[in-house]
Structure 1
Amino acid sequence: MASLTIRNLDERTKAQLRIQAARHGRSMEEEARTILRTAIEARQPVAGGKGLGTRIHEHFAQLGGVELELPARSSLPIPAQFEGE
C-alpha cells in the first residue's frame, strides 16, 4: 500500500474531516481514503457505458429530426487533378 502525506491542510478542513469521519464511524484516515476513492471513481467512464455520440443523440432525440429529400445523383464525382500528375 502507498502512503500519502498532505501538507498545509488548514485547521478548518481538518476539523470538518474529523467531524465527517465521526459521523460515518470511521477514522480520519479512512474518511480521507473514501473521499479520494469516490472522487476518482466518479470521473471514470462506466464500463459498457454509452459513448458521447449516443448521449448527444438521446439528449436531442425528443426534439425530433429533420427528414431531407436527397436528390438522385446525376453524375459521378470527378477526382481532383493536380499539376505534375
Structure 2
Amino acid sequence: MASVTVRNPPEETHRALRARAAAHGRSTEAEIRAVLESAVRPEERVKLGCSLAVSWPSMSLRPSPMRTYAPERAQPV
C-alpha cells in the first residue's frame, strides 16, 4: 500500500479531523483515508455501464452465453 505524508496541516483542520474520526468511531488515520477515498472516488460518480444503459435502453448489457469451439479430435490409429 502506498504511503502519503501531510506536513503542517492547520491546527483547526487537524482538530476537525480528530473530532470527525471520533464521531465515526475510527482513528484519525482511518478517517483521513475515508475522506480521501470519498473525495477522489465519490459514490455518485457516473459509471460507464449505467450511462450506457440509460443512453441505449434497447441494448442488452447482460452477459451473453459464450459459444465454445471444440474442434473434433482425430482418433488415434
Which deviations, in whole Å up to 9, do the C-alpha atoms of 1:8-30 show, x marking residues without a partner? 20000000000000000000000
The normalised TM-score by structure 1 is: 0.54
User: 2:29 corresponds to which letter in structure 1?
Assistant: E
Gaps of 5+ in 2: 56-77
Q: Percent identity?
A: 42
| TM-score, reference length from structure 2 | 0.59
Determine the C-alpha separation between the residues in 2 that align with 1:5 and 1:44.
27
1:1-85 alignment runs, 5 A limit: 1-42=1-42, 44-50=45-51, 54=55
Which amino acid in 2 is paired with 1:25?
G
Paired residue secondary structure (2:36): helix
SS class of match (1:49) = helix
How many residues matched?
Answer: 52
The structure with the largest alpha-carbon Rg is: 1
Aligned counterpart, 1:61: none
Structure 1 unaligned regions, length at least 5: 55-85
Moved over 2 A (4+): none
